[in-house]
Amino acid sequence: MTGISQIYSKSLPAADEIQHGDSLAPEGISGLETDKLPEAKSVSVSSFAVSWAKKYYSTVAARENQAPRQIPQSPELTNFEGNRPQIVDKLTDTLKLASEIAWSRVEALLGEQIERHGIDQSLINSLEIAGDSRTLYRKAIDAYADREPIFRLSVLVGKDLIKVRRKYSDTDPLVLGFVTVKFQYISKILLGCLSESERAEFAPYLKVVDDYLHIPYGEINEAAANQPPNSRALLAVQHLLQQTTQIASAVYDRASFQHQGYRSSSGYLSDREVKISGIRDVEIFQSYLCWCVLEGSIHPVQQELFPICVMLYPKLHVSWELVQDMLLILFWEICERLPAEDLTIFLPYLRTLTEMFSRDVFDN
C-alpha cells in the first residue's frame, strides 16, 4: 500500500525517481454526531461511524470528474558526484525549480478533486504553500550543510513542521493532502538531482520532513498533555508507540504476501520504495488511532484520515481491498501484541476504524 506518505509514480521520468472549516464533510453529510466514542457504546457508535463513512464516500463519488488528466513530463535531471558543499549547492539551485514543477504535478493529479470533494478553492494558496515548502526544505538543506546529525533535525525543524501541518489541516484537512503531495514531489526532484551515494546521504533528512508532515505529532503530544498522569489511555498509547514500526513492518509483509503481484501507480508491493512508503502508511494509521484514544473521539479519523485516503488512494490506483486487508491484519497484530488492559482501551477505536474502511462502505 502506498499513497498517503509517498508518491512514486512510474509515469514520471526516471530522473525523478527517488529512494527513499468546521467540518471536512461536504454539505449535507456532516450531521451525524460520531466524534465521541464512549467505550460502553462502541458497537452503536461504530455503526454510526460506518454510516457516516458511507455517506461521505457516496457524496464524493457522485462528484467524480471523468475527464482524463495527464501528468506533465519534467525536464531531465542529471546525476552529479561531489562533496557536501557541492551537494548543498545542487540542492539549493534545484529547490526553486522543484517547487514549481511539483505544484504543476499536484494540479495534474488532484486538480479535479477540488470540485469532487467540495473544497473551497480559495483555501489552496499555491504561493503560500510554495513559500512554506521552500522554507522547510531550506532548513533541512542547511542542517545537512552544517553536518547536523539526523536526530537533531527534529529539534531544529520539528516545531516549524508541526506549525505548517496544523495551519493547513485547520484550514481544511484536504488542503493538507495537497501540501503533502507537493512535498513528496519536491523530495523526488531533489533526490533526483543527486547521485546514488549522495542520495543515500541526504535522504534521511527528507524522511524527517516527511514524517512530521504525515504524522500528527503535535496533535498527539497535545492530547497526551491533557491526560492525567498514568491514565490508562496514555499508558496504552505509550505501549503501542513503542511498537508501531515493528507492527507496520509485519502488517506490510503479510499484506504483500496476500497480494503478490499487486501493482499500483507507485509500483509493485515488492519494490523497495513502495515498501518504505507502505510501512509508513501503516504507521500513519496507527498514529491516528493513538490520537483517537487520547482524544476519546473518532473525530481525527473523520476529519483528516478518511477524507485524505478517499482523495488520494483512487488517484494512485490503490485498491480499497488492499487497504481493508491491511487494516484487518493491523487489527490482529495489535490484538496479539498489546496486553489485555491496553487492548480494552484501543479496541473500540480499532474496530470502528476497520469498519469505516470496510467493503460495506465502498461497495455501496
Cell of 18: 527517488
Residues 131-166, buried b or exposed e (16+ Cβ, 10 A)?
A: ebbeebbebbbebbeeebeeeebeeebbeebbebbe
DSSP assignment of 253-312: HHHHHHTTT-EETTEETTSHHHHHHHHHHHHHHHHHHHHHHHHTBSHHIIIIIHHHHHHH
pLDDT, mean of residues 9-22: 30
Give the pLDDT band (50/70/90) at residue 336.
very high
Q: What is the pLDDT of residues 80-134, one digit of tens each?
A: 334 899 999 999 999 989 999 999 999 999 988 898 899 999 999 999 999 999 9
Domains and CATH numbers, the chain: 1-17+56-62+215-364 (1.10.490.20), 83-214 (1.10.490.20)
The predicted structure's pLDDT at residue 230: 85
Whether the pLDDT of residue 333 is over 90: the answer is yes
The pTM (predicted TM-score) of the whole model is 0.78
Half-sphere exposure of 105 (CA within 13 A, CB side): 27
Torsion of CA 277, 282, 285, 289, to 10 degrees: -150
> How many other CB atoms are there within 10 angstroms of residue 112's CB atom?
18
Beta strand residue intervals within the chain, DSSP E:
263-264, 267-268
The predicted structure's pLDDT at residue 38: 40
Q: What is the pLDDT of residues 279-318, one digit of tens each?
A: 999 999 999 999 999 999 999 999 999 999 999 999 988 9
